Structure 1
Amino acid sequence: MFAMRLLPWEYGVRNLFRRPTRTALTLAGLTTVILLIFVVVAFIRGLEASLAASGDDDVVLVYALSSGADIENSSIPARTPALLSASLDGVQQRFQTRCISPELYLGTRIQVLKEQIKGLGLVRGVTTAAPLVRSKVQITEGNWPGPSEVLVGSLAHSKLGCSKDSLAIGERVQFDGRDWRVSGRFSAGGSAFESEMWCPLDDMQAALKRQDLSLTAVKLSPTGSPADVELFCSERIDLELKAVPESVFYASLQQHYKPVRMLGWLVVWLIAGAGVFAGLNTMYGAVVGRIRELATLRAIGFRRRAITLSLIQEAVLLAVGGSLIASVLAFALINGTAVRFTMGAFVLRVDSVAIVVGCGTGLLLGLLGAIPPAMKAMRLAIVEGIKSV
């Protein structure tokens, strides 16, 4: 049995440069398709990462039983933090302060005075206990907010649709009929808090003419248990409270946004399918223009499989080139870009999953786009192929 004689590797590479216009157009098409896949996957991964980073296992959220999963509609008595502090033993204590954070949270129209832009933003009224509970929060610039001041998250400008400089220290914003000065900026490890503005709880209650709270966040010690907080809520029926671990709360949000993520993956498959058909069309055009060449190769002794492998080699080389170019563009233009969403804002993430999906799809486009036209060309008789124009 004789081994199959393959065409030289250089033959397929040289063919790509013999038709520079067709090669460039095919490469541009493949790069565009793969880049679109990177955008969609980066969106999905960024949303998942933001929600996953927002929940701490040792933090329990206490809010109104009637609000469901919508904390903005929650209203609990102002005495709730004091009652929790007096009733629970497993609360973590730092700097001689029990880690219980009373908070008032709402979405409201915020006007950025520097650009005269109005957008829907997220505001959280907090006390100095908030950083003790939200351990991922770090002030990166400026100071903790004083009276009539706000501390802005690193993605708050993206949520509002304004420039980052418009929320620099000393700039002013307006919401709920009051002017607020930006005192600083904070980060929160990529969590949803980075889309918010934090201001003193007393000032926010005065601006809203409210004395109640939206929620109370409790940070448990290693000996504490969420069951203790749930037991307190069940015993105090008059307060109508519910206790949910923060990690469970944001996991439920992941389920809430599951249709969005499923739609994103569907878009990935639709783009990949469109790319396969575009690749088929391009490769059919390339093969039709080379029928005489392919028939001549068969006439001088090369088998159909050898010629088919050479055509697949050319398509895969183009696909690999398109994948590499798309990867570079994705890291340069997409990775880290902030986008607005209903829950706030988050950054697109071109991570290992996005690379595998994008580049893997590119390779599939090369393989699936080359095999059908190559097989069709090999069915043509040698004499008919040589005579073709």
Structure 2
Amino acid sequence: MLLPWEYGVRNLARRPVRTTLTLVALATVVMLVFVVVGFIRGMEQSLSVSGDPDVVLVYSVNSEENIENSSIAARTPSLLTASLQGTVKRFGVTHVSPELYLGTRVKNESADGGLGLVRGVTLAAPLVRRSVKLTDGDWPGAGEVMVGRLAAAKLGSSDEAMAVGQTIEFEGRSWKIRGRFAAGGAAYESEIWCNLGDLQTATKRQDLSLAAMLLSPGSSAAEVKLFCKERTDLELRASRETDYYATLQQHYKPVRLLAWFVVALVSGAGVFAGLNMMYGAVAGRVREIATLQAIGFRRRAILVSLVQEAVLLAAAGSLFSGVIALTVLNGMAVRFTMGAFTLRIDSVAILIGCGVGLLLGVLGALPPALKALRLQVATSLKAV
């Protein structure tokens, strides 16, 4: 026969201080798990939504996978449009975006020399980067920029300092913020966009970093790759944009593995913390456990009751942490080498966080409960 369900619930209320401390400790461990898993999920989401399957990137073969190091001739976009027929063309405008992409120090009112990502573009950029949507202000003109919604997080500054009308400095010039844009969580959201000619003048460069081409339906990226392979004098390589960001995911795989290792370490530390707390809780209830055995309850029933108490605490702590994670952590911007992204507390993060919390309750209660139940009843009844 099992002990009544309400017996375990009432036991939690009989020791409010110990119950509260245990609840806070379990909630803290689960919150750390939420933070790390949210970081992993946010980075994966940012890279997965950044690529457009219809866009092909053409950049220098010597840059490997780092477009910031790429340098191609300014005439490359014209050569591509003249030699290839698979690019989208509407109203006489070919959907090819020449771009200059670099990392540089950006200063504003609240960030003195933060590392920002700047992309010089033309009016063809929104035709190719179809996920980019202007949310405030207007397209930048001469001496102006528009900033992604996560550019402030990348620079470590406030959103007010990156609002429309504010001024920032990079490459020895002052730039006025004309607009703000979003890109559905893509990596562009941590960038600063300005006029390509202005950026070339400021950096004293006439080359480009890449050319982005929007392919028409039925066209294949293989044609562009074949062209780049045949024109060895240009030293170009082509990659579908989705393949490029998939490669970046592989590049950051060690970081994700390290983060999962941190989850395991935090969970392990939580188990030991739970063991320590439960040992203390059970040690003060030796006489109670012996009395329950003396009046006829089996050890298995008492064990189930003790585990029930621990699981109730763990469930409450997981629920408390889950509410905070969804309301506070979800969508919080995080700086990273690739730019910035937001923590993502999705169903996977909730499942892992709450699963770890419940696991802490079970694993934390079993060893001390089994130890207490192995004691002789007569000896335990005399315990102080």
TM-score by length of 2: 0.99
**Residue among 348, 361, 378 paired with 1:366:** 361
Give the CA deviation at 1:116: 5.8
Mapped partners of 2:296, 2:164: distance in 1: 76
CA contact (8 A) 2:87 2:213 kept: yes
**Residue among 218, 226, 229 paired with 2:221:** 226
Letter in 1 for 2:73: P
Equivalent in the alignment of 1:87? 83
CA contact (8 A) 1:287 1:373 kept: yes
Mapped partners of 1:96, 1:186: distance in 2: 26
Aligned counterparts, 1:261-276, within 5 A:
261-276=256-271
Unaligned runs of 5+ in 2: none
Q: Hey, which bits of structure 1, 4+ residues long, moved more than 4 A? A: none
Equivalent in the alignment of 1:213? 208
Equivalent in the alignment of 1:247? 242
Mapped partners of 1:73, 1:64: distance in 2: 8
Mapped partners of 1:380, 1:71: distance in 2: 67
Mapped partners of 1:116, 1:279: distance in 2: 42
Mapped partners of 1:376, 1:133: distance in 2: 66
Equivalent in the alignment of 1:39? 35
Letter in 1 for 2:61: L
Equivalent in the alignment of 2:17? 21
Name the SS of the counterpart of 1:239 in structure 2: coil
Give the CA deviation at 1:210: 1.1
Post-superposition Cα deviations, 1:68-97, rounded to whole Å, max 9, x if no partner, equal 111111111111111111111111124442
Post-superposition Cα deviations, 1:334-366, rounded to whole Å, max 9, x if no partner, equal 111101110111001111111010000000000
CA contact (8 A) 2:22 2:313 kept: yes
Name the SS of the counterpart of 1:140 in structure 2: strand
CA contact (8 A) 2:111 2:157 kept: no
Q: Does residue 256 of structure 1 match 2:251?
A: yes
CA RMSD of aligned residues (A): 0.9
Name the SS of the counterpart of 1:336 in structure 2: coil
Equivalent in the alignment of 1:381? 376
Equivalent in the alignment of 2:315? 320
Name the SS of the counterpart of 2:113 in structure 1: strand
Instruction: Report the identity percentage.
Output: 64
Mapped partners of 1:252, 1:365: distance in 2: 36
Name the SS of the counterpart of 1:186 in structure 2: strand
Mapped partners of 1:274, 1:161: distance in 2: 31
Post-superposition Cα deviations, 1:273-328, rounded to whole Å, max 9, x if no partner, equal 01001111111111110010110101111000000000000000000000000001
**Residue among 180, 185, 190 paired with 1:190:** 185
Equivalent in the alignment of 1:348? 343
Provide closer, same or farther for how the CA distance between residues 256 and 116 of structure 1 changes in structure 2, counting only shifts above 3 A: closer
Equivalent in the alignment of 2:138? 143
Give the CA deviation at 1:222: 1.0
Letter in 1 for 2:99: E
Unaligned runs of 5+ in 1: none
Name the SS of the counterpart of 1:174 in structure 2: strand
Give the CA deviation at 1:111: 1.0
Report the more deviating stretch, 93-102 or 255-264.
Answer: 93-102
Letter in 1 for 2:251: H
Letter in 2 for 1:83: L
Post-superposition Cα deviations, 1:198-219, rounded to whole Å, max 9, x if no partner, equal 0011111111111110000011
Name the SS of the counterpart of 1:117 in structure 2: coil
Q: Does residue 290 of structure 1 match 2:285?
A: yes
CA contact (8 A) 2:56 2:213 kept: yes
Mapped partners of 1:334, 1:364: distance in 2: 23
Post-superposition Cα deviations, 1:195-254, rounded to whole Å, max 9, x if no partner, equal 000001111111111111000001111121000100111121111100011111111111
Mapped partners of 1:358, 1:388: distance in 2: 38
**Residue among 7, 17, 20 paired with 1:11:** 7
CA contact (8 A) 1:94 1:132 kept: no
Name the SS of the counterpart of 1:224 in structure 2: coil
Name the SS of the counterpart of 1:311 in structure 2: helix
Name the SS of the counterpart of 2:22 in structure 1: helix
